[in-house]
Every structure is written in structure tokens, then in C-alpha cells.
Structure 1
Amino acid sequence: MDAVEKEKVASSVPREASSHDGGCGCGCANHAGADGMPECMPDEELLYDLADLFKVFGDTTRIKILYALMGQQRCVADIAELIGATQSAVSHQLRTLKQARLVKFQRDGKNVIYSLSDDHVHTMIAQGMSHICE
């Protein structure tokens, strides 16, 4: 994807305002001291969980699935057709995305309909795309 295409994609993804809870203790900039550094390091388990979350974004098929679900619920067959993968491959990757709590599902008769878990997932994808398009 060239820079023009990346910019088109990034500009098509709406940016959302942060509604960060100031009492979360996550070590983000909202909790920084006067020098801009976090006041304390998040606990090791929290950092491990964060690293695991980012690992989930390390697969192109999973990113395509998340993009396919931005703004629309879809079944496995529709996702597979849209991203050009087999239903088996999509199902396998959806399992990983469910375990990471990035997608949710609901049953509709024999079909299972998938969607993004919440607005945070949309924001992470949009921010990532915005970052690489700069």
C-alpha cells in the first residue's frame, strides 16, 4: 500500500476523543509526573498482558478481520469472502481475537455473528493506522 492509499484509509477511520479514567494506575501520560515520565511503573503482570495484546495485532489476517468488522457485524463466511481467506482460517483467527477480547459474537440460529468488542478496538486500529501514515 503506497502512502496515498494509507492516508485515504487513515482519513476514513474516525478519530475518537479519549475518555480515560484518571484513576486507572496504568502508567499512561495522564498519570505522568512533572517531567513527563510515569510516576510509577505498572505491575509486571499488567505489562505482560499488554505485550500479549499487542502480539495479537502481529498477524495480517487478524488485522484484516478487525477491519472487516469495523462498523459492521459479519458472519465467518462474509468475513472470509471479504478478506480472501478460507472460512477455516478465519475461524482460527477469530478464536485468537475472542481470547484477546477484541471481538465478540452472538448466535443467530445456526449462524454466529461477530463484531468488535467495543470502541477501544476501533480506536487502537485507527491510532495504529494514523501512526504509520504519518
Structure 2
Amino acid sequence: MKACDHDFLSPELVEEVSQTFKALADPTRIKILYLLSQEECSVGHISEVLELSQSAVSHQLALLRNLHLVRYRRAGHTFYYSCDDDHVITLLKQTIRHIEHD
């Protein structure tokens, strides 16, 4: 029997994919990403909508930023966040539609 010719994922890529799915497994980060998929938001607005402290929101945004899932721009003293990866947002929205369909 012939061995299968497969391209295997590098360990580094597997780790990055794993980290992305771990980030998406957190309810707060799901809410943040979904909100940012609708509009660009300041940290204050996100914390208001999600009823969380600005510190807690900033912590979650830093993690999402490190994974290149969100980006920010600064206007004066205010930071505005938006989604930085349409692929992940598409995955999130498809998963939501999948759950709602059932």
C-alpha cells in the first residue's frame, strides 16, 4: 500500500491556529469580535455595551490584537478598534448562523 502524500502543517502553524481557536472559545472575546464586526468602537463603548470594566475590555483587546484579529487607531486620547481579519469574522458569523439554524 502506498503511503499517502500529504502536506503536513508545520508545528508553528498548528500552534497559531490553536491559539486563534482558543481566543474564539471565550464568550467575552466572541462578543467583542461580533460587536467590532458591526462597527468600529472605542474601548469605552465596548465596555458600556458589554457591561465590563474598561480594564477588562483592554485586556481582551490586547490578546485579540496580538493574534492580529483586531487593529486600532488612535484619535487624541481615544483608541478605536475594528476587525483585522475578515476570515475569522466570516468563521464567527458562519458559526452563529449554524447554531441559529439548528
Match of 2:57 in 1: 90
Q: Distance in 1 between matches of 2:19 and 2:85?
A: 18
Q: Give the SS at the match of 2:39.
A: coil
If the length of structure 2 is used for normalisation, what is the TM-score? 0.86
Instruction: Quote the residue 1:68 is aligned against.
Output: 35
Q: Which residues of 2 match residues 35-114 of structure 1 at below 5 A?
A: 39-114=6-81
Deviation at residue 38 of structure 1 after TM alignment: 8.2
- Larger helix percent: 2
1:127 CA displacement: 2.0
TM-score, structure 1 normalization: 0.67
Q: Is the 8 A contact 1:68 1:83 kept in 2?
A: no
What CA distance in whole angstroms lies between the structure 1 residues aligned with 2:5 and 2:19? 21
Give, in whole Å, the separation in 2 of the partners of 1:110 and 1:43. Answer: 41
Identity %: 40
Compute the RMSD of aligned alpha carbons: 1.8
Once the two structures are superposed, residues 87-129 of structure 1 have per-residue CA deviations (whole angstroms, 9 ceiling, x without a partner) of 1110110010101110000001110000000322321211221
Number of residue equivalences:
98
- Give, in whole Å, the separation in 2 of the partners of 1:127 and 1:82: 23
Could you say if the C-alpha distance between residues 109 and 61 of structure 1 is closer, same or farther in structure 2, counting changes exceeding 3 Å? same
Note the alpha carbon deviations across 1:38-90, whole angstroms, 9 max, x for none.
Answer: 83221222111111111111211111111111131000010011111111110
